[in-house]
Amino acid sequence: MLTRGTLLYIGQRLVLIGFTVVAVSSIVFLGIHRLPGDALFNEHLHGTQYELLLHHYGLDRPLWDQYTSFLSAMIFHGNLGESLVNRGVQITPLVVRELTVSVEVGLFALIFTIGLGMLLGVVAALRQNTWVDYVLSTTSVIGYSMPSFVIATFLILLFAVWLDNLTQGTFYFQIGWTGTYGTIGEIWLPAFALGFPYASIVARLTRASMLEVIRQDYIRTARAKGLKETVITIRHALRNALIPVITILGPLVIGIITGGVIVENIFGIPGLGKEFANSILNRDYNIVIGVFTMYAALVGLANLGVDLLYVVIDPRIRY
């Protein structure tokens, strides 16, 4: 599968991603420094204390000088600097750790998105125009009509508060995050909140696609050959019905990544999404740049992954 052409394609894309990351971080660097306000100023500072702080972080140097230092440190040393708000916190290890947490949550969300979405779509298609179809279709409409932060808040109320009260603390979702990567018990609900809106989109797309495929001649032929219905559905219909679903995976992955900004905050997950909002509010320039840089890399790599998936699903595609 990994032909020379594919490897070349991957190489080209990685170079492009590298350029994109540098471009994004540069734009953010120059943009964030133009924002009014900063992380260091407060009303307790007297005399030259503010100037000393600016000097400590090199923020009193000309912007161009700061930019070239930043760029060379990032490219040649992978060093994104130090937090302005949390002294002594090095940003590269921080955002890399947070990125892995977000990727973990995102992958779980993707499992919900694809797994649940496909399941609902296939069942709705196979039970077309029955009450099952109507219920699933309505659920899908509700799912993609509601942003993930509304779903997240509702799920916390439902599973963490009401269920806790209802069962007198016997069965409920325990809010929290253990260690760096949490536990399955802590991930499933935020992943569901993040993935459910997109699962609804996948469900509708899968349903439409399945309805088209199961009316194809080759499906009729398969039935005539006496193949089992499950084999026909999974091996022959679903695989072809998946191709349109895969085409929207790219935007879905981006949606899941950006949706994490809110969901991570609501569930208290120490990922990149949580950092995104807080660092901008705190005017922590260096972390903002680090977060955007990581997001740019993540989006680029996720898109590359989706593009490579085409090859697996559709043998007609070659790079």
Q: Which of 174, 183, 216, 221 binds other proteins (CB under 8 A)?
A: 174
Q: Which of 270, 291, 295, 302 binds other proteins (CB under 8 A)?
A: 270
Q: Distance between CA 267 and CA 89 in Å, rounded?
A: 23
Q: Which is nearer to other proteins, 43 or 217 (CB)?
A: 43
Is residue 210 a contact partner of residue 280, using CB atoms and an 8 Å limit? no
90 Cα distance to chain centroid: 24
Is residue 177 a contact partner of residue 186, using CB atoms and an 8 Å limit? yes
Is residue 82 a contact partner of residue 279, using CB atoms and an 8 Å limit? no
The reply on whether position 43 binds other proteins by CB under 8 A is yes
Nearest alpha carbon to residue 105 among 233, 270, 223? 270
Eight-class DSSP state of 236: I
The reply on whether position 62 binds other proteins by CB under 8 A is no
Q: What is the DSSP string of 135-174?
A: HHHHHHHHHHHS-HHHHHHHHIIIIIIIHHHHTTTSS---
Q: Which of 59, 73, 175, 304 binds other proteins (CB under 8 A)?
A: 175
Is residue 274 a contact partner of residue 263, using CB atoms and an 8 Å limit? no
The reply on whether position 150 binds other proteins by CB under 8 A is no
The reply on whether position 211 binds other proteins by CB under 8 A is no
Residues listed for the chain = 319
Q: Which is nearer to other proteins, 20 or 100 (CB)?
A: 100
Q: In the bound complex, what is the minimum distance in angstroms from residue 90's beta carbon to other proteins? A: 9
Q: In the bound complex, what is the minimum distance in angstroms from residue 31's beta carbon to other proteins? A: 15
3-class DSSP assignment, residue 90: strand
The reply on whether position 278 binds other proteins by CB under 8 A is yes
Q: Which is nearer to other proteins, 18 or 58 (CB)?
A: 58
Q: How many CB atoms lie within 10 A of CB 189?
A: 20
The reply on whether position 170 binds other proteins by CB under 8 A is no
Q: From residue 84 to residue 123, what is the string marking binding to other proteins with x (rule CB under 8 A)?
A: -xxxxx----x--xx-------------------------
241 Cβ contact list (under 8 Å, min separation 6)? 122, 206, 209, 210, 212, 213
Q: Which of 180, 183, 216, 221 binds other proteins (CB under 8 A)?
A: 180
Q: In the bound complex, what is the minimum distance in angstroms from residue 300's beta carbon to other proteins? A: 25
Q: In the bound complex, what is the minimum distance in angstroms from residue 183's beta carbon to other proteins? A: 13
Residues near other proteins (CB under 8 A) are 36-39, 41-49, 52, 55-56, 83, 85-89, 94, 97-98, 156, 160-161, 164, 169, 172, 174-177, 180, 265-270, 274-275, 278, 281, 283
